[in-house]
């Protein structure tokens, strides 16, 4: 109640503010631009707040508080005042209209849905013109199919038909919470219950990655305890996806496969000793 009363008082004061003539407006704009006269800026903005209020009324059907729209419009008005160039001899209201509308449009896009959309200029145009174009094209032509309607809107706004269909779906249905109970379900079943993912949790992925890196470092350090032939046998037999057979390695090294087996067993024992010596926690890992 207090906020509504404050908003009404603000609107009444803004609507009662005097209009500025062209010459007075130019003088105030020059004072602000050249001397940063704060009083001149205040007089310009107060005189044009009725423009902000009028613009806010055009966005009322998006379901957002009028006071918030007016506040955002005031931000656009101040931005216009900071950029206005009086030497171009354009009325400030004409220049400020674009900034006020842009500020309100950004506010609507940020708050209309929790899903971010309309980031490009074409998407913004689609968002704010789709309903109007759809109503105009469908008026008196009930037989017009959705596909044909989307194609005409696509041609009018310069966007793809898929973008038109996606935006139409977004505007037709409100946001739905994943924690909201499903209609017709007697228990407390939520939409979230049907979003099943078999992938590991992020903390599990991080833990696995850390463990793999730690064990890899242990192994690299332990491999330094082996001589050249032992290292080659371990690499060929244990560290490759398709390990070589004893017979294959024996042929490469010019020794019997039994000798290869003996060297491999000895190398594995050396690795175990090295791992335990360098990292006592290895036994518990």
Per-residue pLDDT of the chain (285 residues; tens, 9 = 90+): 435 555 677 677 777 778 888 888 888 888 888 888 888 888 888 888 989 999 998 888 888 888 889 989 999 999 998 888 888 888 999 999 999 998 998 888 888 765 555 556 666 777 776 767 766 666 656 556 677 777 777 777 777 788 777 776 666 666 667 777 776 655 677 777 777 777 888 888 888 888 888 888 888 888 988 999 999 999 988 888 888 899 988 898 899 999 999 999 999 999 989 888 877 765 544
Residues 6+ apart with CB under 8 A from 141: none
pLDDT of residue 267: 92
Residue 74 in contact with residue 80, Cβ under 8 Å?
no
pLDDT of residue 206: 84
pLDDT of residue 114: 59
* 242: region left, alpha or beta (phi > 0 left; psi from -120 to 50 alpha): beta
pLDDT of residue 1: 40
Give dist(CA 49, CA 77) in Å, integer. Answer: 8
Return the closest-CA partner of residue 60 out of 48, 47, 73: 73
């Amino acid at each position: 109640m207090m906020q509504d009363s404050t908003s009404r008082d603000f609107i009444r004061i803004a609507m009662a503010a005097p209009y500025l003539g062209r010459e007075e407006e130019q003088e105030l704009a020059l004072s602000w631009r050249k001397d940063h006269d704060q009083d001149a800026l205040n007089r310009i903005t107060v005189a044009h707040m009725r423009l902000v209020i009028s613009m806010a009324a055009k966005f009322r059907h998006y379901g957002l508080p009028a006071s918030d729209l007016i506040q955002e419009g005031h931000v656009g008005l101040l931005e216009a005042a900071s950029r206005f160039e009086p030497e171009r001899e354009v009325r400030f209201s004409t220049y400020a209209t674009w900034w006020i509308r842009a500020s309100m449009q950004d506010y609507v896009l940020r708050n209309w849905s929790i899903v971010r959309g309309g980031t490009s200029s074409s998407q913004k145009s689609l968002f704010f013109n789709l309903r109007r174009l759809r109503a105009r094209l469908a008026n008196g032509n009930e037989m017009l199919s959705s596909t044909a309607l989307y194609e005409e809107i696509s041609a009018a706004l310069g966007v793809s038909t898929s973008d038109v269909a996606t935006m139409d779906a977004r505007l037709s249905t409100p946001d739905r919470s994943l924690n909201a109970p499903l209609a017709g379900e007697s228990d407390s079943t939520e939409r979230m219950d049907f979003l099943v993912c078999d992938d590991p949790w992020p903390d599990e992925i991080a833990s696995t990655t850390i463990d793999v890196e730690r064990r890899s470092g242990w192994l690299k350090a332990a491999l330094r305890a082996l001589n050249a032939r032992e290292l080659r046998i371990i690499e060929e037999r244990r560290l490759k996806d398709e390990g070589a057979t004893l017979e294959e390695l024996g042929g490469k090294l010019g020794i019997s496969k039994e000798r290869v087996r003996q060297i491999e067993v000895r190398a594995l024992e050396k690795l175990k000793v090295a791992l335990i010596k360098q990292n006592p926690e290895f036994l518990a890992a």
